[in-house]
Structure formats: structure tokens, C-alpha cells
Amino acid sequence: ITLYKLEPQAGTKSARVVGLADDIARSMSALSARISIVRGQNAIGIELPNKEREIVVLRDLLESPEYQNANLNLPIALGKEISGKPIIVDLAKMPHLLVAGTTGSGKSVT
């Protein structure tokens, strides 16, 4: 994903820009566009999918300094941010977890 930041003109409502998502995607020859406010900045973010997908390799995440130096009880690598920084969280602090699988595959092990 590529993030474009737009500083709207004074008086421009964010909802007006958000409503243009389909038009922006079409004009940029993108499949979709996600538009949201950039927190902490006077900016609106426009996220467009890259033409080529990047494969996120689990080994790269597990060998990253962020994972290796994480001071967490049960660290888990979820993926990467738009900037490429690994997302590492503490599974022990997550009260809910979705487990998916087919019937009889061992989801309800006690």
C-alpha cells in the first residue's frame, strides 16, 4: 500500500474528500482507495494498493530486531505496517482470539 498525505484547504470537510474514494481510485487506475484522517496531523491519508504485492516472510519478521528485542510475555508477529516496520504484539494481553478450521481439525482441544 502506498500512502499519500493531503493537506486540505481551510474549510474543506473531511467527509467531502472521503466521499470521493471511488473517483480517486478510478483516476489513479487503482482497484480501490481507502481515505481517512491522519491522526495528530492536519492531513487526510489516501491509501492505494501497489501494482505488485509484497510477500511478507515470517522468518524476516521473527529475525527482526523488533521481534528479537521485544520485552513481551508471548510475542507474536502479525505482519508489517505500511512503512515496512514489523508489527509485534503481546498475545498474552489479547483476551480474544479467532481460531478457524474445518470440522474435526482439532480446534476444540482440551
Helix (H) or strand (E) holding 3: strand 2-6
Radius of gyration of the chain (CA): 19
DSSP helix/strand/coil, 22: helix
pLDDT of residue 60: 94
Main-chain dihedrals φ then ψ at residue 97, nearest 5 degrees: -145, 135
CB atoms near residue 75 (< 10 Å): 17
Residue range 2-48 forms a domain whose CATH class is alpha beta
- β 2-6/86-90 pair status: unpaired
Displacement of CA 74 from its chain's centroid (Å): 21
Domain ranges of the chain: 2-48, 58-93
| The residue to which cell 510475555 is assigned | 73
pLDDT of residue 75: 94
pLDDT of residue 67: 96
Each residue's pLDDT expressed in tens, for the chain with a length of 110 residues: 888 998 988 888 888 888 889 999 999 988 889 998 888 888 999 999 888 888 899 999 999 999 999 999 999 999 998 888 999 999 999 877 777 888 877 777 66
pLDDT of residue 109: 66
